[in-house]
A and B are shown apart, each in its own frame.
Chain A
């Protein structure tokens, strides 16, 4: 299991306790470490949870908690040997899924179900029916379209899993056509975009390539191992060389250009317009920003950016009339 990185909320912790009780009772006797591994938590957290459960119970007929209505564990076994064994349990039910939990898994299944190797191993329809039946209410109304895999994607999935070098015919965000030899490391889908991350032999550095921008992919032969430094992701991080451009857009359109703005960058509201600073790698990005806000943008400064954006739009109109 992936390690948890998000801080857990009280409902998360309650869900954990409610799932932990029936597990521990089914196991009869289990080490703290094994139980912690099973739930992807630390031995310390597991001990704390067991102690909380062991002090809990139900109020009896007279409204007080007594030994008859409390959970009870073998304390000697727990304290001396780090073993969990329940001697008494007022509850051992396995919880159902909430509507939202069932929906999250169902929609996730819709996304991955299209992969033929899974369809061969698991009856997805039966699995979905089981999830829906195990939910407290009707699963929440949530649906996703299955991820479609085109030929290029299938080739890249295969190249990653069999460690083959690929040659890609690629167009950069600056619009330049380039041919790169890449030893693939991973192929990831984010929303409807797919990214190939790998060692670019042409640049001798780790690079990320967007599937949308690949004209073709050719499999060359066996890939080599590379010691890639972590966290050098040029596609997703603004470089120091990024130019700052001041723009005006309609106030309502501000959220549409959020990815081009720094987190703490100031916004000046002037009536219906918002004046903001964006960070761009090159002037070609300005046209893309303009398109996001349906053309309602003015580049204020520097003058070079103002001229570049105006020229971009005039060129587009001219080419269109031809």
Chain B
């Protein structure tokens, strides 16, 4: 092979690494990998480059794990934790899709539609990769199912780093602007799940400073999300996201505000189109998960809306208008 004389693309090095580790039953030590596998071996002879090569290998391992390749580390007997003697392997049984999993053309079309829900951001990358894997099964798409597609954006900058932190079990820090506040607070949390509800992305997490579960709106994470350097103190339960979604639903059902709107106004139409809104004697009953967020939404209607209940919401909306008046006094 002329491996030493040509530049080897990253995907070729990663592909060779997967092939080598899948083929080896007992696994390979780091030295064996670096000295033999295409993409590493040509650089192995250069001792001054060795530290770079090892760091490269560490990053490649993360890449493979992120892609769902089950890369295992096996300690040598009697030498637990000795990274020189550890062996790396990919057990074919954990790598390979179970033989009995097949998808019909209609299921495939449905999955294509599901993937199209994500049009940008990390979820779109993840679903595109999943579709590529599905294509290995050779199923052809039945276009007839595809009519209209509801999409969800993942525009919040916090989305990708939180997804990665959950996947890797890392604790994170970020600046959070609580609804209704004007100064951000620093939070340190173990992220548990991401939930899309009422048109917004929510992070469900264990707040490690107050030692309690908390829900955060991704839109209100106003600074970068960075790993704290510590592992997460709490890990997601198998039904974590479903439970978080149910909790938000329950909160939404039980949180009711009563408003009066100017008939025929924008406020009237928009409030009536809001899911769950009911006509009552005093005006309209509307549902929400967070009264501070609702206060922002209602305040936007200005003179076309009056808030009747609850008191805290009425005061919140009035305070927003008063703040504007006093800023312009």
Stretch of B78-86, B145-153, B206-214, B278-286 that contacts chain A:
B145-153
Whole-angstrom CA separation of A185 from B131 in the bound complex: 28
CB distance from A19 to the nearest CB of B (A): 4
B225 close to A (CB within 8 Å): no
Q: B14 in the interface, Cβ–Cβ < 8 Å? A: yes
Contact pick for A312, options B107, B123, B302, CB 8 Å? B302
Give 1 or 0 for each of A103-132: 1 = CB within 8 Å of chain B CB.
Answer: 111111101100001100110100100110
How far is B304's CA from A6's CA once the two chains are assembled, in angstroms? 44
Residue A256 CB within 8 A of the other chain? yes
Question: Which chain B residues (227-285) contact chain A, with CB distance < 8 Å?
Answer: 236, 238, 240-242, 244-245, 249, 264-266, 269-270, 272-275
A112 to B92 Cα, complex, angstroms: 34
Q: Would you call A148 and B275 a contact (CB within 8 A)? A: yes
| Cα of A38 to Cα of B322 in the assembled complex, Å | 61
Which B residues touch A287, using CB under 8 A? 299-300, 302
B133 on the A face (CB < 8 A): yes
Which of chain B's residues has its CB closest to A17's CB? B15
Give 1 or 0 for each of B1-35: 1 = CB within 8 Å of chain A CB.
10000000111101110111011100000001001
Chain A residues closer than 8 Å to B70, beta-carbon distance: 96, 136-137
Chain A contact residues (Cβ within 8 angstroms of B): what range? 35 or more
Task: From known contacts A20-B136, A58-B19, infer whether A319 and B269 are also in contact, taking CB-CB under 8 Å.
Answer: no
Contact B270 A213 (CB under 8 A): yes
The one of A13, A15, A315 that contacts B302, using a Cβ cutoff of 8 Å = A315
Q: Which of B106, B132, B135, B138 has the most CB of A within 10 A?
A: B132
Q: Do A313 and B324 have beta carbons less than 8 Å apart?
A: yes
Asked if A101 is at the interface (CB within 8 A of a chain B CB), the reply is yes
Question: Which residues of chain B have C-beta atoms less than 8 A from A100's C-beta?
Answer: 66, 68, 122, 126, 163, 167
Total A-B contacts with CB atoms under 8 angstroms apart: 401
Q: Are B68 and A99 in contact (CB under 8 A)?
A: yes
Does the CB pair B133–A95 fall under 8 Å? yes
Q: Please judge, given known A-B contacts A14-B18, A294-B320, A317-B318, whether A52 and B12 are in contact too, CB under 8 Å.
A: yes
Q: Which residue of A lies closest to B183 (CB)?
A: A252
Q: Least Cβ distance of B112 to chain A in Å?
A: 8
B interface with A by C-beta (< 8 Å): 1, 9-12, 14-16, 18-20, 22-24, 32, 35-38, 63, 66-70, 92, 94-98, 101, 103-104, 106-107, 110-118, 122-130, 132-133, 135-138, 140-141, 145, 147-153, 163, 166-167, 175, 177, 179-184, 192-200, 204, 219-220, 222, 236, 238, 240-242, 244-245, 249, 264-266, 269-270, 272-275, 292, 295-300, 302-304, 306-307, 317-325, 327-328
